[in-house]
Amino acid sequence: MDILSTRLIPSEQAIESRVGDEIVLLHLENGTYYGLDPVGTRIWALLKQDHGPVEICRLLSAEYEVAPETVEQDVRSFLTDLKSHGIVIEG
């Protein structure tokens, strides 16, 4: 199933800290951490506000004035990575 069609929520094991313009995310159990750039930080904020992946793509495409296909490709890759490390889970 396409990850963009999946409802995703932040894992309870994922905690965050702001580092300048970025957010650092840590998975408490496996120790994996991510430094999110401003776009990643925006996606994370939208996920926490309970926006679904399709809605996130639509908002980013409008905010950054980027073609929807490009945004979808990037968000898909980003969310797949977060999910594979347990930072987000299916809700």
Partner 1 sequence: MAGTLEAWPFDPALDAGETLAWVQSEGVVALAAVRLREGLAGTPEPVRRAFEDAARAEAARLLMRQAEARRVLAGFAKAGIPALLLKGSALAYWAWPAPYLRDCVDVDLLFASREAAMAAAALLASDGYLRRQHFGEAATREFLCLRHLPNGSRLEMDMHWDLTGEPLFRGRFGFDELQASSIPLPTLSPDARGLGPVHALLHACVHRASNLASGGGDNLKWLYDLHLVAGGLDEPGWDTLCALAADRGLAGVCVDGFSTTATLFATSLPETAMAALRSASAKEALDPARLREWTYFQRQNLRALPDWPSRARWLWQRLRPTAHYREDVGVTWTGLVTDRLQRAWRQLRRP
Residues that bind partner 1 (CB under 8 A): 15-20, 22, 24, 26, 28-33, 35
* CA–CA dist 14, 64 (Å, integer): 27
Minimum distance between the CB of residue 83 and partner 1, rounded to whole angstroms?
A: 18
* CA–CA dist 49, 59 (Å, integer): 13
Decide whether 12 or 65 has the Cβ nearer to partner 1: 12
Minimum distance between the CB of residue 34 and partner 1, rounded to whole angstroms?
A: 8
Decide whether 36 or 56 has the Cβ nearer to partner 1: 36
**CA 49 remoteness from chain centre:** 11
Decide whether 57 or 87 has the Cβ nearer to partner 1: 87
Minimum distance between the CB of residue 74 and partner 1, rounded to whole angstroms?
A: 20
**CA 16 remoteness from chain centre:** 13
Contact 34, 66 (CB under 8 A): no
